[in-house]
Amino acid sequence: MLDRTQPPPFIKSTSFQLPHVDKTQLSNGIPIIHLNTIEQELVKIEVVFNAGKWFDPKPEVSHFTVQMLDKGTKSMSAKQIAELFDRYGAHIELSCNFDFATVALYALSKHISKLYPIFLELITLPSFDDAELALLKDHFIQGLRVKNEKTSYLASKLIRKKIFGPLHPYGQSPSEEDVNKIKSSDLVSFFNERIKPSHVFILGKIKPNDFNTLKHTLGSMSTNTPSPSDFSSIEKPKEPNYIEKSGSVQSSIRLGKRTLQRDHPDYGGLLLLNYYLGGYFGSRLMKNLREEKGLTYGISSSINSLKNDSMLLIGTDVNKENREIAIHEIMSEVDLLCRSIDGNELELAKRHFIGSLQGQIASPFSILEKIKNIELYQLPGTYYQNLINQIDSVTIQDLLQLAEVHFKSNAFFEVSVG
One digit per residue, pLDDT tens: the chain, 418 residues? Answer: 677 887 777 677 888 899 999 999 999 999 999 999 988 999 999 999 999 999 999 999 999 999 999 999 999 999 999 999 999 999 999 999 999 999 999 999 999 999 999 999 999 999 999 999 999 999 999 999 999 999 999 999 999 999 999 889 999 999 999 999 999 999 999 999 999 999 999 999 999 999 999 999 999 998 888 877 777 655 565 677 999 988 899 999 999 999 999 999 999 999 999 999 999 999 999 999 999 999 999 999 999 999 999 999 999 999 999 999 999 999 999 999 999 999 999 999 999 999 999 999 989 999 999 999 999 999 999 999 999 999 999 999 999 999 999 999 899 999 999 9
Pair (201, 79) in one structural domain: yes
Pair (334, 282) in one structural domain: yes
Supply the pLDDT for residue 227: 79
Rounded CA gap, 211 and 121, in Å? 17
Contact call for residues 82 and 88 (beta carbons, < 8 A): no
The answer to whether position 86 is within a domain reads yes
Pair (202, 64) in one structural domain: yes
Supply the pLDDT for residue 228: 75
The residue type at 280: Y
Number of domains in the chain: 2
Rounded CA gap, 137 and 61, in Å? 11
Pair (190, 107) in one structural domain: yes
Q: What is Dmax (Cα atoms) for the chain?
A: 74
Give CB contacts under 8 A, 24+ apart, made by 227-236: 228/50, 228/54, 228/55, 231/164, 231/167, 231/168, 231/169, 231/308, 234/164, 234/165, 234/167, 234/168, 234/171, 235/165, 236/162, 236/163, 236/164, 236/165, 236/171
Supply the pLDDT for residue 394: 94
Pair (319, 186) in one structural domain: no
Pair (203, 283) in one structural domain: no
The answer to whether position 44 is within a domain reads yes
Contact call for residues 279 and 270 (beta carbons, < 8 A): no
Q: Which tens digits make up the pLDDT trace of 29-46? A: 999 999 999 889 999 999
Pair (319, 189) in one structural domain: no
CB burial of 229-260 (b: ≥16 within 10 Å; e: otherwise) equals eebeeeeeeeeeeebebeeeebbbbbbbbebb
Pair (187, 254) in one structural domain: no
Q: How many CA atoms lie within 13 A of 122 on its CB side?
A: 26
Rounded CA gap, 158 and 417, in Å? 9
Rounded CA gap, 278 and 261, in Å? 19
Rounded CA gap, 69 and 59, in Å? 18
Pair (194, 342) in one structural domain: no
Pair (141, 262) in one structural domain: no
pTM (2 decimals)?
Answer: 0.92
Rounded CA gap, 18 and 375, in Å? 13
The answer to whether position 291 is within a domain reads yes
Pair (72, 183) in one structural domain: yes
Supply the pLDDT for residue 324: 95
The answer to whether position 339 is within a domain reads yes
Supply the pLDDT for residue 237: 58
Supply the pLDDT for residue 292: 96
Supply the pLDDT for residue 27: 93
CATH number for 343: 3.30.830.10
Of 219, 253, 276, the one marking the end of a domain is 219
Of 160, 186, 219, the one marking the end of a domain is 219
Contact call for residues 298 and 288 (beta carbons, < 8 A): no
Q: Provide the β-strand partners of residue 301.
A: 314
Which residues form the domain of 118? 22-219
Q: List phi, psi (to 5°) of 195.
A: -80, 75
Q: How many CB atoms lie within 10 A of CB 108?
A: 16
Return the CA Rg of the chain: 24
The answer to whether position 228 is within a domain reads no
The answer to whether position 230 is within a domain reads no
Within 39-169, strands assigned E span 42-49, 91-96, 101-108
Pairing of strands 310-319, 250-258: antiparallel
Q: How many CB atoms lie within 10 A of CB 22?
A: 11
The answer to whether position 147 is within a domain reads yes
Of 219, 252, 281, the one marking the end of a domain is 219
Of the candidates 55, 314, 28, 353, the one whose C-alpha atom is nearest the C-alpha of residue 159 is 314
Rounded CA gap, 85 and 240, in Å? 48
Distant-in-sequence, close-in-space partners of 86: CB < 8 Å, separation ≥ 6: none
The answer to whether position 93 is within a domain reads yes
Q: 377 by DSSP, 3-state: which? A: coil
Pair (307, 401) in one structural domain: yes
Supply the pLDDT for residue 221: 93
